[in-house]
Amino acid sequence: MTTTTPRNRSKGLNAGLWTAQGLLTLAFAGGGIWKLATPRAQLAEIFPWVGDTPPALLYVTSVFDILGGIGVLLPALTRVKPWLTPLAALGCAALQVSAIVFHLSRGESGVAFNVVLLALALFVAWGRHRKAPITA
């Protein structure tokens, strides 16, 4: 029989936070790089909104995605200004809230992925700010 101690819970929370940070980095930075590297016409076939909006929207959101993805992992990993990690996670959450509102306003229903990313980002922001902060 195993018992759950505060230390075991803390290790589990920390592992969950690192996992969430890795997933957010893959989703945001990877997605942003992919959107910048893929021709706009090809993206418009996958995401209809790309063809319906100014090119600047795609490029600006892609750059924010990359910065957010890097920001949720790199400061914590390097322990250089790790207080930036929860702020980057809040930025990623804000991007997802904006994306959800944007897609719903267009009558699009596929926002489940955005909701998952929002939940992960809020988990990291909460966890790295309150429960398991990284020290410099």
Q: What is the pLDDT of residue 10?
A: 87
**Residue 9 falls inside a structural domain:** no
**Residue 6 falls inside a structural domain:** no
How would you class 7 by CB atoms within 10 Å of its CB: exposed for 0-12, middle for 13-18, buried for 19 or more? Answer: exposed
**Residue 136 falls inside a structural domain:** no
Mean pLDDT of each 10-residue bin along the chain, 136 residues long: 62 96 98 98 96 97 98 98 98 98 94 98 97 94
**Residue 37 falls inside a structural domain:** yes
Q: How many domains does the chain have?
A: 1
Q: What is the pLDDT of residue 7?
A: 66
Q: What is the pLDDT of residue 81?
A: 97
In the chain, what is the straight-line distance between the N-terminal and C-terminal CA atoms, in Å? 37
| Host domain of residue 51 | 29-131
**Residue 47 falls inside a structural domain:** yes
**Residue 120 falls inside a structural domain:** yes
**Residue 3 falls inside a structural domain:** no
Q: What is the pLDDT of residue 4?
A: 55
Q: What is the pLDDT of residue 109?
A: 86
C-alpha 75: how far from chain center? 14
Two structure tokens written together for 129 = 């700010």
**Residue 44 falls inside a structural domain:** yes
Q: Residue 115: which H helix or E strand, with range?
A: helix 112-126
Q: What is the pLDDT of residue 9?
A: 66
Q: What is the pLDDT of residue 52?
A: 96
